[in-house]
Amino acid sequence: MPDKSTQLVVIGGGPGGYAAAFLAADLGMAVTLIDPAVNPGGVCLYRGCIPSKALLHVAKLIHEANEARAWGIDFGSPKIDAAQLSAWKDKVVGQLTGGLGQLVKQRKVNHIQGTATFKDNRTLNVTDSLGAADTLSFEKAIVAVGSSAMSIPGFDKGSDHIWFSKEALELSQIPKRLLVIGGGYIGLELGTVYAALGSEVTVAEMMPTLLPGVDKELVRHLKKQLSDNFKEILLETMATDPKVQKNGVKVTLKDKNGDATTRLFDKVLVAVGRRPNTDAIGLENTGVKVDNNGFIEVDDRRQTAEPGIYAIGDVAGEPMLAHKASHEARIAVEVIAGQNVVYEPAAIPAVVFTDPEIAWAGLTEAEAKSQGIEHTVTRFPWAASGRAITLGRSQGVTKLVIETATERVLGVGIAGPGAGEMIAEAVMAIEMAATATDLSLAIHPHPTLSETMKEAAEVLHGTATHIYRPLRNK
């Protein structure tokens, strides 16, 4: 017999799990949250979004200081104290996770520091941080156990010279030569950090493009800048046969023609994707089903195949992003509370926090095309934005994908500094079914980069103020 019970148990304390636990407590449920860390936060706060963005902020500062030379301001070469920088990043993480710990107490969530596995469809085996084992029965459960970094054959965890994102974020040292395997957003963001701190960064990506699947035009903007910041970007290149030695790792880089070179790097960062943590949580003792990619199968209410057990966040499917996890948390908890809600986002924004940032929401041009939607693409180049020029950053673009018949905004892509902040307006527009005219009638503050959204909308009717692009049929 279980010796303890709870109305709702949330397994995993990341942005999915803690958001779920907090909302459930706010709605009056008795909640137990189980996570191995002393405070909630999960991958995102401890070893993902937050530490990476703290370090990317520093990278941005260094770039801006470099750019200022052209305007007559020379700050000299930066002196980097990696230990102090790492301590500052840890302080940021501590402040945020500590704050979440306070919110756990204020909301009277029962936080068990430990791990849980399913014993059956209404009981968990729980092991706390001291190794004590117990069971916990529940009425409802939300599984929010997240994901882990994937590896590739030969590049095993445990070597000092082979890093995954967690080790790279520890900033134990700044390697002279860093090989980043994988041109996805995590590899490019961490490559940006280390390049700014002084590493020679080589990126090896096996696909023909960086950020596979992302709008090619946005990626082109980014690649142009990254080609200046990184030592080299090797596309259609496989990294194989790592040989760890005292002074680093020898890696074979094989291009699309099969030509191979062996090179020595001080560190290798493996950033080839993440996989859901569904292997070892006892799902086989329940009716929960897992798909071929290891994700828990959920319906539009985030309920699994086992009634009463829900799944959210990275473990419940793509996109593996923190804001998607916390949105799903809200849906799952409201469903449990008896509300009539579904998970049906029209747009989930995605941001790559490189320099320039790129961000998108809704349909990309390629998706609109492949779905057979009649659409028009409008663009406003940042070279015509007063604000972009005051920042010395006129390389960006704001592009809209607009449904031709209704003039509804279906998708937005932005490349340029601040794209990650700007994309929120696009999400709002897409969710509210705004038309291009709605965007152009909304007064945007001047001079800001947000005006590029309004002007990109005005391009549809050939009336954007700061570029001359009359309609062809006029």
Chain residues that interact with ligand FAD, rule: CB under 6 A = 11-17, 34-37, 42-44, 48-49, 52, 115-117, 144-147, 165, 186, 277, 281, 313-315, 320-323, 325, 353
Q: Specify the DSSP element, H or E, that contains 254.
A: strand 248-254
Nearer to ligand FAD, 349 or 381 (CB): 349
CA angle 339, 18, 306 (to 5 degrees): 55
Contacts of 472 by beta carbon, 8 Å cutoff, 6+ apart: none
Contacts of 269 by beta carbon, 8 Å cutoff, 6+ apart: 163, 164, 165, 167, 168, 178, 179, 180, 181, 187, 190, 191
The tokens 């590049």 sit on which residue? 155
The tokens 């509370």 sit on which residue? 337
Nearer to ligand FAD, 144 or 415 (CB): 144
Nearer to ligand FAD, 193 or 430 (CB): 193
Active site (annotated) includes residue 461: no
The DSSP bridge pattern shows strands 309-311 and 133-143 to be: parallel
Q: How far is the CB of 281 from ligand FAD (least distance, A)?
A: 5
Contacts of 322 by beta carbon, 8 Å cutoff, 6+ apart: 14, 15, 44, 48, 49
* Dist CA 444 CA 441 (whole Å): 9
Nearer to ligand FAD, 332 or 430 (CB): 332
- Which residue, among 134, 104, 128, has the nearest Cα to 115 in the 3D structure? 128
Q: How far is the CB of 125 from ligand FAD (least distance, A)?
A: 10
Cβ pair 265, 178 in contact under 8 A = yes
Q: How far is the CB of 19 from ligand FAD (least distance, A)?
A: 8
Nearer to ligand FAD, 354 or 385 (CB): 354
* Dist CA 472 CA 474 (whole Å): 6
Q: Which of 57, 327, 375, 446 is catalytic?
A: 446
Nearer to ligand FAD, 192 or 378 (CB): 192
- Asked if omega into 319 is within 30° of 0 (cis), the reply is yes
Q: How far is the CB of 193 from ligand FAD (least distance, A)?
A: 10
CA angle 8, 323, 128 (to 5 degrees): 40
Q: How far is the CB of 333 from ligand FAD (least distance, A)?
A: 13
Q: How far is the CB of 280 from ligand FAD (least distance, A)?
A: 7
* Dist CA 358 CA 350 (whole Å): 8
* Dist CA 316 CA 295 (whole Å): 5
Nearer to ligand FAD, 15 or 381 (CB): 15
- Which residues are identified as catalytic? 446
